[in-house]
């Protein structure tokens, strides 16, 4: 069960780490002196530590005497830890990161370590001395206390992937008498996977690039207590170099604010040459991908037309207009139907997303365009109810995605026109795709078909549609959503291995309609189950969204804010991530889950 109180959640996390350390297949090499665990740092302890660090920095920059190790009355900093690192950030730039080196049993060790780490961080080669004039209200110090040192028993990647959690564990590599460290934030800020991180760590030590595979290399992982402090005495605990979102933090207002942030992300990531939306942004490098994906561009256009209506804003008008113009210029007509030749082998998905975007537009040729594009989908329906997915080829491609998207477009158009052809096409397709899914169970098909069959159910009240929606949704939640994890930021995410903000948002689109169906049928067990799934899932998506507070380490935070990241350990942002986030937030807001 996901515990709402943050303090209790952190206690549970610490207990889980302790349990893991006792049962994990690693060798524990830490000594255990009778000192307080660093995990028991209080808020006052953290404030005192931060104040001391700032006093050392200020005295050093002014050339004054550095404060000694005398203890403030009532403050006991006799804690047990393996190493402490101090990172100095100013205006989203890392200026320095160094550690203390006092021996473990030295009296007043923490003061000595904090003093050394503070001064050395300002001697760091990354630290520009002119920055001393800029250590203002935008300055952060970040404390990283490493503890619970554990040696990896096997020097192979598969073993270490099971025992090192990126963003949670700090890691050291040692050969002979030399040891180098990466604190837990490094793979997050650099977007390293484990293999890349280990190679970079070997490079840092000037060892051979694959030293982590050598038997005479010692690799240790460390649990880490991390917190951020500023000059206004604000302390923020960091988890995976992010700020934990609690389920109790999620409100209708927060969802609305996050939708506004999504709009900002879109407006800040328009290609100045094409005047269309960039496809992928990499915040760690502040660069864009050169690739593009036309189906995802049109799906995002559809989401933006809905977001524009929700926010009642004209800011998106220019981008929406240019995107319509660009893709409608690819319209090709054949007989009495049309398709969009934006891809080499255009699919029914292009027609589908253009149709759904057009349904929210006021283009003068809207009715004619919708009829021609819908005709293109109908023309590819086969006698068994299934759809060919490509216009220029009989190759079967995207069967888990494209037919569901096309059927949703037909149902959306039916709602507006009441044209029986569109309803009959979806009714004919339903038995085929129900049988297909039961024989080929997968997560990709579920959200599109759930949304489609909910609209079809509202028109027909066919109980088989409701039963199948519940069947798919129950299977999805029971098998693929995270309800318990030793890493509490993962809770609510989909899938269970490597949960993704985008995947979670996709599935929530369908689960929201399953929830609406349960409300319609007054089915309390399903209503409660889906509400719980949505509540936890939205928390996870918010955990995956970049905002002002958690973007302090990004090179160009303005571009990143509002975007949804690929994973908790990968901050790349793609247009389909934002598209699905917008749709999931809109549906959740409409369902009033958090009222």
pTM, two decimal places = 0.91
Q: What is the mean pLDDT of residues 135-144?
A: 78
64 and 186 fall within a common domain: yes
Which pLDDT belongs to residue 396?
87
**End of a domain among 238, 273, 308?**
238
471 and 509 fall within a common domain: yes
Does residue 1 lie within any of the structural domains?
no
228 and 252 fall within a common domain: no
385 and 503 fall within a common domain: yes
Q: What is the mean pLDDT of residues 285-291?
A: 96
**Mind listing the pLDDT tens digit for each residue in 1-17?**
444 444 444 444 444 44
219 and 254 fall within a common domain: no
Does residue 260 lie within any of the structural domains?
yes
CATH code of the domain in which 472 resides: 1.50.10.20
**Model confidence at 309: pLDDT above 50:** yes
* Among 210, 239, 227, 221, residue whose Cα is nearest residue 150: 221
412 and 438 fall within a common domain: yes
Does residue 476 lie within any of the structural domains?
yes
Give the span between the Cα atoms of 580 and 245, in whole angstroms.
Answer: 19
**Mind listing the pLDDT tens digit for each residue in 351-384?**
999 999 999 999 999 999 999 999 999 999 999 9
Residues with Cβ within 8 Å of 228's Cβ and at least 6 positions away in sequence, in order, are 140, 141, 142, 235, 236, 238, 552
351 and 333 fall within a common domain: yes
Does residue 81 lie within any of the structural domains?
yes
Angle between helices 575-591 and 252-267 (to 10 degrees): 150
More reliable by pLDDT, 298 or 233: 298
Does residue 509 lie within any of the structural domains?
yes
Q: What is the mean pLDDT of residues 574-585?
A: 98
208 and 251 fall within a common domain: no
Q: What is the mean pLDDT of residues 548-574?
A: 96
Does residue 180 lie within any of the structural domains?
yes
Residues with Cβ within 8 Å of 268's Cβ and at least 6 positions away in sequence, in order, are 558, 559, 561, 562
The domain tally of the chain equals 2
Residues in the chain: 595
Does residue 349 lie within any of the structural domains?
yes
**End of a domain among 187, 211, 238?**
238
* Among 515, 509, 508, residue whose Cα is nearest residue 537: 508
420 and 534 fall within a common domain: yes
161 and 205 fall within a common domain: yes
Give the span between the Cα atoms of 466 and 225, in whole angstroms.
Answer: 48
Q: Which domain holds residue 190?
A: 6-238
**Model confidence at 505: pLDDT above 90:** yes
Start-to-end Cα distance in the chain: 21
521 and 462 fall within a common domain: yes
**Model confidence at 138: pLDDT above 70:** no
Which pLDDT belongs to residue 92?
86
Does residue 471 lie within any of the structural domains?
yes
**Mind listing the pLDDT tens digit for each residue in 507-553?**
999 999 999 999 999 999 999 999 999 999 999 999 999 999 999 99
At residue 130 the predicted structure's pLDDT band, cuts being 50, 70 and 90, is: low
Which pLDDT belongs to residue 474?
98
Secondary structure (3-state) at 226:
strand
Give the span between the Cα atoms of 585 and 234, in whole angstroms.
Answer: 30
453 and 508 fall within a common domain: yes
At residue 67 the predicted structure's pLDDT band, cuts being 50, 70 and 90, is: confident
Quote the DSSP letter at residue 73: T
Give the span between the Cα atoms of 393 and 462, in whole angstroms.
Answer: 34
**Mind listing the pLDDT tens digit for each residue in 383-438?**
999 999 999 999 989 999 999 999 999 999 999 999 999 999 999 999 999 999 99
**Mind listing the pLDDT tens digit for each residue in 72-128?**
555 678 899 999 999 999 888 898 999 999 998 888 899 999 999 999 998 887 776
Give the span between the Cα atoms of 366 and 306, in whole angstroms.
Answer: 16
**End of a domain among 202, 220, 238?**
238
| Range scoring the smallest mean pLDDT among 21-35, 196-210, 476-490 | 21-35
Taking all residues of the chain, what is their mean pLDDT, rounded to a whole number?
A: 91
Which pLDDT belongs to residue 126?
75
């Amino acid at each position: 069960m996901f515990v709402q109180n943050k303090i209790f959640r952190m206690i549970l996390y610490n207990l889980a780490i302790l349990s893991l350390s006792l049962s994990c297949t690693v060798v524990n090499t830490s000594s255990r002196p009778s000192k307080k665990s660093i995990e028991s740092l209080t808020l006052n302890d953290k404030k005192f530590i931060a104040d001391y660090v700032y006093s050392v920095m200020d005295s050093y920059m002014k050339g004054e005497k550095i404060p000694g190790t005398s203890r403030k009355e009532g403050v006991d900093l006799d804690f047990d830890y393996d190493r402490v690192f101090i990172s100095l950030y100013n205006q989203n730039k890392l200026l320095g990161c160094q550690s203390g080196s006092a021996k473990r049993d030295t009296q007043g060790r923490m003061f000595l370590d904090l003093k050394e780490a503070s001064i050395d961080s300002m001697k760091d080669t990354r630290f520009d001395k002119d920055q001393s004039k800029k250590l203002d209200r935008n300055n952060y110090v970040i404390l990283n206390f490493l503890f619970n040192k554990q040696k990896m028993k096997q020097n192979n990647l598969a073993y270490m992937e099971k025992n090192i959690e990126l963003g949670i564990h700090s890691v050291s590599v040692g050969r002979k008498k030399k040891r180098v460290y990466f604190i837990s934030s490094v793979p997050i800020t650099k977007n390293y996977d484990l293999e890349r991180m280990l190679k970079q760590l070997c490079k840092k030590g000037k060892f051979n690039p694959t030293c982590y595979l050598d038997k005479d290399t010692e690799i240790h992982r460390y649990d880490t207590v991390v917190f951020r402090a500023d000059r206004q005495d604000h302390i923020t605990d960091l988890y995976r170099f992010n700020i934990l979102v609690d389920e109790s933090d999620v409100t209708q207002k927060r969802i609305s604010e996050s939708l506004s942030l999504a709009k900002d992300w879109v407006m800040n990531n328009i290609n100045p040459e094409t005047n269309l939306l960039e496809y992928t942004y990499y915040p760690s490098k502040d660069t864009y991908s050169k690739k593009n994906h036309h189906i995802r561009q049109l799906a995002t256009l559809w989401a933006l037309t809905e977001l524009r209506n929700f926010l009642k804003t004209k800011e998106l008008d220019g981008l929406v207009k240019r995107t319509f113009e660009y893709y409608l210029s690819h319209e090709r007509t054949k007989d009495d139907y049309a398709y969009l030749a934006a891809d080499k082998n255009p699919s029914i998905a292009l027609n589908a997303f253009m149709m759904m975007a057009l349904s929210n537009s006021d283009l003068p040729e809207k009715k004619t365009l919708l009829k021609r594009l819908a005709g293109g989908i109908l023309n590819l329906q086969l006698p068994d109810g299934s759809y060919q997915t490509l216009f220029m080829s009989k190759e079967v491609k995207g069967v888990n995605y494209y037919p569901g998207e096309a059927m949703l477009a037909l149902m959306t158009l039916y709602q507006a026109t009441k044209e029986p052809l569109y309803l009959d096409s979806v009714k004919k397709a339903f038995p085929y795709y129900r049988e297909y899914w039961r024989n080929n169970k997968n997560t990709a098909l579920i959200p599109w078909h759930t949304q489609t069959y909910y609209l079809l159910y509202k028109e027909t009240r066919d109980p088989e549609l409701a039963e199948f929606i519940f069947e798919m949704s129950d299977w999805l939640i029971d098998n693929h959503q995270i309800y318990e994890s030793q890493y509490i930021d993962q809770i609510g995410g989909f899938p269970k291995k490597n949960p993704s903000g985008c995947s979670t948002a996709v599935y929530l689109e369908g689960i929201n309609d399953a929830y609406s169906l349960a409300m319609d049928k007054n089915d309390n067990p399903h209503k409660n189950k889906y509400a719980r799934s949505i509540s936890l899932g939205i928390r996870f998506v918010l955990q995956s969204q970049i905002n002002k507070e958690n973007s302090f380490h990004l090179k160009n935070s303005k571009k990143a804010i509002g975007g949804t990241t690929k994973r908790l350990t990968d901050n790349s942002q793609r247009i389909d991530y934002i598209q699905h986030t917008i749709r999931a937030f809109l549906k959740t807001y409409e369902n009033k889950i958090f009222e």
